[in-house]
Amino acid sequence: MRTIELPSGQPIPALGLGTWKMGESNRNFQREVEALRYGLELGLTLIDTAEMYGEGGAEEVVAQVIAGRRSEVFLVSKVYPHNASKTGVVSACDRSLKRLNTDYLDLYLLHWRGSVPLSETLEAFQSLKAAGKIRSYGVSNFDTEDMAEAVRLEGGKAIATNQVLYNLTRRGIERNLLPWCRQQKIPIMAYSPIEQGRLLNNQALKKMARERDVTAAQIAIAWLLHQDDVIVIPKSSRIEHVKQNYAALNLALSAEELATLETAFPAPAHTIPLEMH
């Protein structure tokens, strides 16, 4: 597994398992557990979750997957903005740890920016780190101005990553945010790499996939893996999808193919605000 280095020097896998919309239905619980477990067997040891996903249900799915294997896993969770106060973050983290049945997170993120002052959230993150409950902390859905403000605050220099929407059809971050993060040596975590499935009907992508005898999803994920300092976390609720996502690791796109994708999915010509789900 290729890894990317966080600012702390801690390595993080370049491709992981996303859990958005998991833990919402008892009917799917076992299938979701099996899919993530299969990913873990393949070596996809990065698992990304959040207290928001299934209101804690996704964390309970993950708990089943990592039981007895916690040391193998790079575990990420996120705190709701309304829980991001000095005491709220600590309580939310404790609840996540309980649901995940672990005593630490490798990375804990503020899910998006809310009304609580960033300085307060960062203070709480630092206290959790000092207590050994989290190893690193970061943010999600932060635009360039938010990032610049955050790193100026106490504890802001230790922000390990920014998790944002990034895929072939959502390339707005390439104008300002991605270069800024690279300059600061803060990797980007890309969620929704196949635009919740909508990308899969694109004709250019389908044509390239047919020519390479792979899936459109694999091309889209491989394109992201070609970007420097980008970690990719596709949702992984079915074994078949996990298998395909994993195969994208070894899918090297040629300069010609990258140019074709550049034409089919041009980056925006002007700055656009950060996009979210």
Q: Looking at the annotation, which residues are catalytic?
A: 53
SS (H, E, C) the chain: CCEEECCCCCEEECECEECCCCCCCHHHHHHHHHHHHHHHHHCCCEEECCCCHHHHHHHHHHHHHHCCCHHHCEEEEEECHHHCCHHHHHHHHHHHHHHHCCCCEEEEEECCCCCCCHHHHHHHHHHHHHCCCEEEEEEECCCHHHHHHHHHCCCHHHEEEEEEECECCECHHHCCHHHHHHHCCCCEEEECCCHHHHHHHCHHHHHHHHHHCCCHHHHHHHHHHCCCCEEECCECCCHHHHHHHHHHHHCCCCHHHHHHHHHHCCCCCCCCCCCCC
